[in-house]
Each structure stands twice: as structure tokens, then as C-alpha cells.
Chains A and B, each alone.
Chain A
Amino acid sequence: MSWALKAEGLGKSFTLHLRGGVTLPVLRGLDLAVAPRECVALAGASGAGKSTLMRCLYGNYGAGSGRILLRHGGAEVDLAAADPRLVREIRRETLGYVSQFLRVIPRVPARDIVAEPLIARGLPREAALRQAEALLTRLNLPARLHELPPATFSGGEQQRVNLARGFAPSYPILLLDEPTASLDAANREVVIGLIAEAKARGTAIVGIFHDTEVRDRVADRIFDVIPIPEAA
């Protein structure tokens, strides 16, 4: 089977130097492969390590062991071993991430936040802004908000800006961390539509969906993240 994203023997633990150097293992020997057009939902108890896995897959957390292979620009690269500049390039071209919370950049209007990754990929500014506005409109964000910085937006509005920013560039691989958590039914439908379209384009998706209805409608497969038993 062809894959777009593949974790091999992935391990991750945290050493807390401020707490006497205690080490918390979270992931060990994890194998996961995701194909183009496939959406894999991560499941597992709270604290099992779903979010840690997502962050490792994005390179936000450094992998302790194992490899994270991606198809990037026609080649196979190991994100776990990539230098920071390569990680930035992978994130610009190949790998998208929608986190639960928008990290607000002061004074930057919503549509510019959404357009930014498009401009970074070389799209002319005007075209990027048009595309950003179209997507925000589709996510039912009122036009008067497009020009405003999202700092004062509600949680749901911020989440929609975040989603637009993640979906706009059509990354080949997309990581979704609770994308519908603070959305109403109508917007949930929009997101389900966006995911379906992305899959149809060939995007490989890994997601955490607490909303089981959404999960059942978008996921092709469920991957259980199993907690590591406490060492005796």
C-alpha cells in the first residue's frame, strides 16, 4: 500500500528536569501509516498520548526514537531527523496542522492570517486574499470580521479562522486536532464537507475527533493510541 505519512517505531517520553528529572514515557514503538485519500481517527483514553502523537507528527515535539516518513516534493523525508529549515519547508509545502486553539498574532486581520500560508507558497497577495475570504465566508464568518484581528473573536470564530488557515493551502497531509470542538451544527457540516473535499483531492488526514458523529462520517479507520503501562 502506498502511504503519504508513515511513523515507524515512534517513541516519545518527557524528562521533567524541574521535577527532579522524572521521565514520563508517552509513546513507544508506535507504527502508523496513512495513505493518500485516507482519514485516520486517533482514539484512546484521555492522556493516552493522542495529542502528543499529533504534535510529533507535526514536528512540534521532537521524536525520541523512530522515524516519521513523509512524501515531500517527490522525495521521502524523515521529519524526525530533518533540520529546522527542512521542517519549515515541509510545513510550508506538504504538512498542515489545525490545532484546537488559534495562536493569535496581534493586529493581523483574520483574512491575512488565512492568506499568509498561501502567500508563503508563492501565490500573489491579491489572489491569496480572495481565496481566504471565500473560505472564511464558506465557514460562515461574517464579512465584517474578515478585516479584524481575531483577538476579540469568540472561541468558535477563532476556530473557523484556524480551520480556514489549515485548509486553504490544500496540503498533501493534514493533521486535525479537534477541528469541530467549538462549532455549531451548521459549521460542523462545512468542516465535514471540507474534509471530504480534501480527501477527494488526495490528502492524507490524521485527526482527533471527540465528536463521534463527525468521526464516523469522515474517518476511514480508527487507530487506537494505547497508554504505556506505568513502569512498576
Chain B
Amino acid sequence: MTPPLLSARGLELRFGRIAALDGVDLDIWPGEVVAIVGESGSGKTTLLRVLSGLMPPDAGEVVFDGQDVLGMSEAARRRLMRTDWGFVHQNPRDGLRMGVSAGGNIGERLMAVGARHYGGIRAQASEWLARVEIDPSRIDALPRTFSGGMQQRLQIARTLVTHPRLVFMDEPTGGLDVSVQARLLDLIRALVAELGLAVLLVTHDIAAARLLAHRILVMRHGRVVEQGLTDRVLDDPQHPYTQLLVASVLAA
């Protein structure tokens, strides 16, 4: 069997007396969408930050494609961040350059990895705008003139344009209206399947996790209390906390 793309073992991180990560293990394979669910403060965003090397844990190891993520230099980590990895933030303002046109936002990663043909960069930006359902005629518009849903779709285009192998998503539908959320989720679902991306998705939205994820990890107080196939965890939850989580949202 193929080895995991990203693999974490024994992650520990304490903020004072609070355990943000308490012995977390995790593997993600190519093409796999894994959701980390749990309430705010359960440690899921911290886990994402540790896995992507943004925050060092107290103990444990993270390996991406044979490379030690925690031990790598800042330069190597940044190179990963603009090539093999992508990061989609909850707030598009954290992931976009608001003063740069839509085309420039999409082109940045291409240029960062050496693209130097303006026409080629522009053609790819245009194609990606269409893929995320933004009218390519808006290529020179600034993101601040976009709606929240469009901004989030632009952030996704900007992230996926270099075909990363692993994408970290932190509550990608968090700040959006419900109707806009559905469209975005569906778009992410289609793109992820089409590009065969591995995605690590942090969300407190169980419906989003069910739609997107192949596998779910349920976190509470810094621990993974339950994990497995998405439909099994959600339809036959074992841990009291998972049962509570599912019971409180599945009324819909």
C-alpha cells in the first residue's frame, strides 16, 4: 500500500494548564479528504497549524512525503506552502491580497514558482476564475468589490492554481450565508474530486463534513475521541461526545 502523504504521531501541545493537543496521531493519504470536527476550543485549528508547521508542538512528529515538517527550515516550509501545500483560511482577507486584482491574486503563486509569461499567467487566472464560477471579465477587479462567497471562491482559485497535493482548509464556509455555503461546498467537492487533492478540513459544520469528507476525526479537549469513515462516525457514533455533536445538528 502507498505510504501516507502526511503523517503525525504523538502530537502534544499545552497552553499553560490547557492541553490543546493531547497525543494526536493522524494520517492522510493522497486523494483523501479528512475532516476534523469538534466545537470551538477543541483543538482542531491548533492541530491544523501544527500540521502545517505554523506552530511547533511540545512533542511529536509530522512527516510530509518523507520530509520532517517540524525540523525543516523556514525556507523549505515556505517552499512547500507555495508548491505542494495550500491553505484556505476562514476569512478570505487572511488568504487574499485585498489591494491586488483577482488576476494578480491567482497569479501570485504561479509567479512565486517562476512563471514569467504575463499572457500565460493571465490565461491561467482567467481559466481558474471560470472554474470557481467567477465571470472572467472581473479579472482586473479588486477582491474588495466581491461578495463574501466570491472572495472565498477566489481564495480557492488562488490556492489551487499550482495544483497542490495537500490543502489545509480552516472553516472554509465559516462566515458565509447558508445558501452561499452550499454552492461553495459543492464547488470544493467537485474540484477536490477532479484534481485528486488530499484535503485536511477543519469544521464545526457536520453537514459540510458529511458532504466533503471521506473520513472524520472528532476532537475534544485536544484529543481525537473518535475517528473513521464519515458515514459510520455520523450514523453510528460511539463516543458520548460524538453522539452529542451529531444529535445537536442532525435534526435538519
- B235, A55: Cβ atoms closer than 8 Å: yes
Q: In the complex the two chains form, is B186's CB within 8 Å of A105's CB?
A: yes
Is B243 in the interface zone, CB < 8 Å from A? yes
Q: Is B93 an interface residue (CB 8 A)?
A: no
B-contacting 9-mer, from A41-49, A80-88, A160-168, A224-232: A80-88
Chain B nearest CB from A78 CB (Å) reads 15
Which residue from chain A places its CB closest to the CB of B247 in the assembled complex?
A18
**Residues 1-56 of A contacting B (Cβ, < 8 Å):** 14-18, 55
Residue of B nearest to A87 (CB): B229
Report the Cα distance A88→B236, complex, angstroms.
17
Q: A60 to chain B: which residues have CB within 8 Å? A: 231-232, 235-236
Q: Which residue of A lies closest to B32 (CB)?
A: A85
Q: Contact at A106–B243, with CB atoms within 8 Å?
A: no
Closest residue on chain B to residue A56 by CB atoms? B236
CB contacts (< 8 Å) of B183 on chain A: these are 106-107
Given A18-B240, A18-B244, A62-B236, A106:B185 Cβ within 8 A: yes
Task: Assess A88 versus B235: contact at CB under 8 Å? Given A18-B240, A18-B244.
Answer: no
> When chains A and B are docked, how far (Å) is the Cα of A61 from the Cα of B235?
7
Q: What total of chain A residues lie within 8 Å of the partner, measured CB to CB?
A: 18
CB–CB A84/B240 < 8 A: no
B67 contacts the other chain (Cβ, under 8 Å)? no
Q: Is the CB of B232 within 8 A of A88?
A: no
Residues on B with beta carbons closer than 8 Å to the beta carbon of A85: 29, 32, 214-215
Chain A residues with CB under 8 A of B229? 59, 84, 87-88
- Given A106-B186, A108-B186, CB of A84 within 8 Å of CB of B215: yes
Q: For the complex formed, measure the closest distance between the CB of B212 and the CB atoms of chain A, giving whole angstroms.
A: 11
Is B120 engaged at the interface, CB distance under 8 Å to the other chain?
Answer: no
Interface residues of A in 97-120 (CB under 8 A from B): 105-108
Whether B228 pairs with A62 at a CB distance below 8 angstroms is yes
Query: B182 contacts the other chain (Cβ, under 8 Å)?
Result: yes
The interface residues of chain B lying within 8 Å CB-to-CB of A87 are 229, 232
Within 8 A of A (CB), among B199-252: 211, 214-215, 228-229, 231-232, 235-236, 238-240, 243-244, 247
From B189, B232, B239, B244, A62 is in contact (CB under 8 Å) with: B232
Residues of A within 8 Å of B32, CB to CB, are 85
Q: Within the assembled complex, what's the spacing in Å between the Cα atoms of A204 and B185?
A: 36
Shortest C-beta distance, A6 to chain B (Å), equals 20
**A84: which B residues are within 8 A, CB to CB?**
214-215, 228-229, 232
Residues of A within 8 Å of B182, CB to CB, are 106-107
A residues near B235, Cβ cutoff 8 Å: 55, 60-61
* Set of chain A residues within 8 Å of B247, measured between Cβ atoms: 18
With A and B bound together, what is the CA distance between A16 and B186 in angstroms? 33
CB neighbours of A14 from chain B (8 A): 236
In the bound complex, what is the Cα–Cα distance between A108 and B187 (angstroms)?
10
CA distance A105 to B211 in the complex (A): 8
Q: Is the CB of B240 within 8 A of A17?
A: yes
**B residues in contact with A15, CB < 8 Å:** 238
| CB pairs A–B below 8 angstroms (14 shown) | A17-B240, A17-B243, A18-B243, A18-B247, A60-B236, A62-B228, A62-B232, A84-B229, A85-B32, A87-B229, A87-B232, A105-B186, A106-B186, A107-B182
Residues of A bordering B, CB below 8 Å = 14-18, 55, 59-62, 84-85, 87-88, 105-108
The 7 residue pairs across chains A and B that have the minimum distance between CB atoms: A17-B240, A84-B229, A61-B236, A106-B182, A107-B186, A84-B215, A17-B243
